[in-house]
Amino acid sequence: METNSLPREAALIVNVHSRKGEALFAQAKEKLEKAGVRLTAAHAVRDPDQLQETVRGAVESGAPMVIVGGGDGSLSGTVDELVGRNCVFGVLPLGTANSFARTLGIPLDLDGAVDAIANGRRLRIDLGMIDHDYFVNAASLGLSPMIGRTVPHKLKRYLGRIGYLIWAVKCSVGFRAFRLMIDDGTEERRMWSTEVRILNGSFHGGVELSEHADVQSGELVIQAVVGRSHARLAWDWYAKFFKLRDRDAQTREFRGRSFRIETRPRQRISIDGEVLAKTPVTAAVAAGAIDVAVPV
């Protein structure tokens, strides 16, 4: 379902631990109110572990829209509180990659994001699920979780995506390929892989990885980088970053509503940038799960 109506009242909750959060909290509050959004509450959350509880409190208080400012991990960690509730999710992309905002076409600058919330439209979208944990954009296993689990906070805070790239080179030295099993309920596929992306949206790590992933499709896209070569994985990221003609040559894609994913050995899973699970898991789509504010 899609309507053009967005609430004019909202609660603002910003993760000031995120890359840009602390510097932009006051600006976001001022710009939202100036744009005509009446803020019933405004919270600058310094402890990321308190984000979900703060969002839950705002939703339960009856806020018609909850605006969360932070990176993809902050959005993914709080979106569970809006599933099944009559509350719009507003997004201020204040993180490093901001893949969810890119997927939705939300501007990455503060003025543009505020304009989407104040003058945009309501859009009903899907969420992904890893077992019973909802996520907004993408999950991954392989090298990406190793990077996300170990990258120094200051490196990604001050260098952004370049910081991730530097750390990826370091992590790749000790990384090994794994056996991957994907079962969609009708067929089981087995292959060697170095990275698997579970995509609800088309972006991951700030890079467009799939033309087929769509937050309104009612399906997930499973994208596997096949083979055992580190060079193939590096080339896949390079080709997708620069949108080369053969950018899909190293990957296989599978589309569907639910998949059972197993690996040997077991692999950690990064969910929108936060390492929160480990194979085996069931990845599924929650179709039409929430309403978000997007540009007209």
Q: Does residue 145 sit in the same domain as residue 117?
A: no
Range of the domain at 111: 2-125
Domain-located, residue 296: no
| pLDDT tops 60 at residue 3 | no
Domain-located, residue 111: yes
Question: What's 30's domain CATH number?
Answer: 3.40.50.10330
Q: Does residue 150 sit in the same domain as residue 118?
A: no
Q: Does residue 13 sit in the same domain as residue 51?
A: yes
The count of residues in the chain is 296
Q: Does residue 234 sit in the same domain as residue 280?
A: yes
The last residue of one of the domains, among 104, 125, 146, is 125
The last residue of one of the domains, among 98, 125, 152, is 125
Q: Does residue 202 sit in the same domain as residue 226?
A: yes
pTM of the predicted model as reported, rounded to 2 decimal places: 0.91
Q: Does residue 161 sit in the same domain as residue 48?
A: no
Distance, in Å, from the CA atom of 291 to the CA atom of 90, rounded to the nearest integer, reads: 9
Domain-located, residue 31: yes
Domain-located, residue 293: no
Residue in this structure with the two tokens 């769509």, named with its chain if needed: 214
Q: Which has the closest alpha carbon to 203: 119, 290, 102?
A: 102
Counted domains in the chain: 2
Q: Does residue 117 sit in the same domain as residue 138?
A: no
Distance, in Å, from the CA atom of 246 to the CA atom of 104, rounded to the nearest integer, reads: 25
Q: Does residue 144 sit in the same domain as residue 282?
A: yes
Domain-located, residue 274: yes
**Span 241-257, pLDDT tens digits:** 889 999 999 999 999 99
Q: Are 117 and 111 in contact (CB under 8 A)?
A: no
**Span 266-284, pLDDT tens digits:** 999 999 988 899 999 999 9
Domain-located, residue 174: yes
List alpha helices for the chain, DSSP H: 21-34, 51-60, 72-78, 99-104, 110-119, 143-150, 153-159, 161-172, 230-241
Domain-located, residue 294: no
Question: What's 270's domain CATH number?
Answer: 2.60.200.40
Distance, in Å, from the CA atom of 239 to the CA atom of 248, rounded to the nearest integer, reads: 8
| pLDDT tops 60 at residue 6 | yes
Residue 95: per-residue pLDDT: 87
Which helix (H) or strand (E) is 262 found in, with range?
A: strand 258-264
Q: Does residue 106 sit in the same domain as residue 150?
A: no
**Span 151-194, pLDDT tens digits:** 666 655 555 556 556 556 565 666 889 999 999 999 999 999 99
Q: Does residue 274 sit in the same domain as residue 145?
A: yes
Domain-located, residue 295: no
Beta-carbon contacts of 56 under 8 Å, excluding residues fewer than 6 positions away, are 81
Q: Does residue 45 sit in the same domain as residue 144?
A: no
Q: Does residue 110 sit in the same domain as residue 152?
A: no
Q: Which amino acid is at 55?
A: V
The last residue of one of the domains, among 65, 92, 125, is 125
**Span 85-137, pLDDT tens digits:** 999 999 999 988 899 999 999 999 999 999 999 999 999 999 999 999 999 99
